[in-house]
Structure 1
Amino acid sequence: MTLPKYDLHCHTTASDGSLAPAQLVERAAGQGVEVLAITDHDSVAGLDEASEAARSHGLVLVSGVELTALWGRQVVHLVGLGFDRHADSLQRYLVRLEDMRRERAERIAHKLQQRNLPDLLPDVTARAGAGQVGRPHFAAALVAAGVCENEQQAFKRYLGPGKVGDVKMPWPAMSEALEMLHGVGGLGVLAHPTKYRLTFTRLRSLLNDFVKAGGDGLEVSYSGIKPDHQREMHKIARRAELLLSAGSDFHHPGQVWVELGRFMPLEENGRHVLERLL
């Protein structure tokens, strides 16, 4: 099977992206993308708008979402693909995550205030709009308040791992997230595996547990992955009999190294997630 040009991991204003769903679809079409999955964090709120835009551009839209989950104490992200986005069980699951994100935002704001910083919650809520609130909204608010020079500095000082804004939450277990996705007809893909800052020994343990829990695929091409790591992900996916997936993890225009449709792994017949989805 010759695969069309695709992107199976990107974000809109329904979570922490800066383009509305219709705008992102238009941009993807302009980049020659033929199959697109919008995978907002813990939300499918942008998919109806995106579906209408995809029809007008002649682009195939695959239902997608990026779920926050836990492997032990480690936060991991699962890209769900090809599910019934109207299923009641999915909607209940996402409402639960939305409540948790709102609670986390309140706790982050409170912790930052305890460090004599201004109350950022009103600005953060306004920036999130109808979308899911996340730490990138706090980073933007810290820059707007003059506390930090840029968003990278905001994460380094206040929001990154081990910092005051790194608030731990009891996210659903990875196995529960996979079970839910399978229950609504979807596939579960482990997103950007080398971005969790795990040793390769720990990463192999994660992937072993992911496979045991019913995981379907592995992202092997995405922004920031090194060529040697990409080759290793291909080997691991082959040994574990995981489907291959890829996506830009696009959030904002202006970053040419994170452009829609740019990241596609080497094709291996019978082993790509698109062969299952299409």
Structure 2
Amino acid sequence: MIDLHTHSTASDGTLSPAELVAHAYAKGISAIALTDHDTVAGIPAAVAAASRIGGFELIPGIELSVESKGETHVLGYFIDVSNRILNDALEEIRRVRILRGYKTAENLTAAGMPVTVEEALEFSGGGAIARIHFAKLLVKKGYCKTVAEAMRDWLSPGKPGHCSQQAITAEQAVEIIRAAGGDAYVAHLHTTGMEGSELYDFLRRLKSVGLAGIECFYTEYTEEMTREYIELAGSLGLKRSGGTDFHGNNKPHIEIGIGHGGMKIGEEVLAKMRE
């Protein structure tokens, strides 16, 4: 069993990279990809932890947020985290993330919930600031009862506190990942705001600049979605990846490797990704 979509405290997860590796191994998982949002800061510690475990593989990865009509992310696998092009791009992305954080704080304050970036950073553990950190802040200050409520009512796309500004396009994300020696896959297709011919054309355009595949197995997919995305990958000649989007206690309903309980991705998926 494998899980190719996980997060650590380097972005918006609650387990450190080393704790994530230990947790995955304890759950009987043979390989994970650490795919933190817009950062590779957790990879060295995760690789070191994995090297101490026989028969366990840590795949260096990343999840890049890109400009799009919906919420579109591009996963990178097998990347060289020391690559200069990648790190230069991540520095620019960090700059835009900070600006987005200030805009989020401004939006929430204008909506009657005064908050600051500095307050939200207290929840980031030194990692990149993300919506989940603002959600926890809203709960701490009594503006919302739960993190889920804060995310749903205030920080999701289209809600008052959301800021959609991103630093790069999907095409640029693919090119950056490829420059770092990695393979690019579009994550959780159901959040992109595209379907049918629009989604097909989007993926075909990305394939022309080097897209390797799409995330066909994902915690929140229905069986119908999974079948649809497998067929879509086949029609475009794209490979298939999959993962739970594990975040630890920030998404307590999702367990590593199994999602809501019934998910299981076999090692053959990873083998085919390597072909």
- The alignment's TM-score, normalised by the length of structure 2, stands at 0.91
> Secondary structure of the equivalent of 2:75?
strand
Establish whether residue 275 from structure 1 lines up as the match of residue 272 from structure 2. Answer: yes
Establish whether residue 229 from structure 1 lines up as the match of residue 221 from structure 2. Answer: no
Does the Cα contact within 8 Å between 1:120 and 1:142 map onto a contact in 2? no
The Cα of 1:161 is off from its aligned counterpart by 1.7
Does the Cα contact within 8 Å between 1:81 and 1:186 map onto a contact in 2? yes
Q: Pick from 186, 192, 213: which aligns with 2:188?
A: 192
Establish whether residue 205 from structure 1 lines up as the match of residue 195 from structure 2. Answer: no
The Cα of 1:173 is off from its aligned counterpart by 1.0
Runs of 4+ in 1 over 6 A off after TM superposition: none
Distance 1:60 1:190, change over 3 A: same
Does the Cα contact within 8 Å between 1:223 and 1:257 map onto a contact in 2? no
Partner of 1:97: 93
Does the Cα contact within 8 Å between 2:3 and 2:265 map onto a contact in 1? no
> Secondary structure of the equivalent of 2:184?
strand
Partner of 2:66: 69
Q: What is the correspondence of 1:36-51 to structure 2 with a 5 Å cutoff?
A: 36-51=32-47
Does the Cα contact within 8 Å between 1:243 and 1:273 map onto a contact in 2? no
The Cα of 1:126 is off from its aligned counterpart by 1.1
Partner of 1:178: 174
> Secondary structure of the equivalent of 1:84?
coil
Partner of 2:31: 35
The Cα of 1:273 is off from its aligned counterpart by 4.8
- Gaps of at least 5 residues in structure 1 are none
Query: Which residue identity is paired with 2:60?
Result: S
String of CA shifts for 1:110-167, please: whole Å, max 9, x gaps. Answer: 2222223222422211111321111111111101111011122212322122222111
Query: Residues of 1 paired with 2:182 and 2:97: CA distance?
Result: 23
String of CA shifts for 1:168-222, please: whole Å, max 9, x gaps. Answer: 3143111111111111110001101123343434322322222233210111111
Query: Residues of 2 paired with 1:43 and 1:150: CA distance?
Result: 27
Q: Which moved more, 1:129-138 or 1:111-120?
A: 111-120
Does the Cα contact within 8 Å between 1:217 and 1:273 map onto a contact in 2? no
Query: Residues of 2 paired with 1:46 and 1:156: CA distance?
Result: 28
Query: Residues of 1 paired with 2:273 and 2:219: CA distance?
Result: 24
Partner of 2:151: 155
Distance 1:273 1:173, change over 3 A: farther
Does the Cα contact within 8 Å between 1:82 and 1:277 map onto a contact in 2? no
Establish whether residue 258 from structure 1 lines up as the match of residue 254 from structure 2. Answer: yes
The Cα of 1:90 is off from its aligned counterpart by 1.0
Query: Which residue identity is paired with 2:14?
Result: S
Query: Residues of 1 paired with 2:251 and 2:72: CA distance?
Result: 24
Q: Which moved more, 1:76-85 or 1:202-211?
A: 202-211
Distance 1:141 1:44, change over 3 A: same
The Cα of 1:100 is off from its aligned counterpart by 0.8
Does the Cα contact within 8 Å between 1:90 and 1:180 map onto a contact in 2? yes
Q: Which moved more, 1:103-112 or 1:152-161?
A: 152-161
Distance 1:25 1:195, change over 3 A: same
Query: Residues of 1 paired with 2:213 and 2:65: CA distance?
Result: 16
Establish whether residue 140 from structure 1 lines up as the match of residue 136 from structure 2. Answer: yes
Distance 1:215 1:254, change over 3 A: closer
Query: Residues of 2 paired with 1:77 and 1:178: CA distance?
Result: 10
Partner of 1:249: 245
Query: Which residue identity is paired with 1:223?
Result: T
RMSD: 2.0
Query: Residues of 1 paired with 2:234 and 2:166: CA distance?
Result: 32
Query: Residues of 1 paired with 2:178 and 2:158: CA distance?
Result: 33
